[in-house]
Amino acid sequence: AYFVDGTDIDDHGDAHADDGFCNAISKAKVKGEIVKGRFKATEFMLLKD
Contact by Cβ (8 Å): 39, 3: yes
pTM above 0.85, yes or no: no
Distance in angstroms (rounded) separating the CA atoms of residues 49 and 33: 25
Q: Name 44's bridge partners.
A: 30
Contact by Cβ (8 Å): 20, 11: no
What residue ranges do the domains of the chain occupy?
Answer: 4-46
pLDDT above 80: residue 49: no
pLDDT tens digits, 2-48 = 999 999 888 988 999 998 888 888 899 999 999 999 999 999 998 98
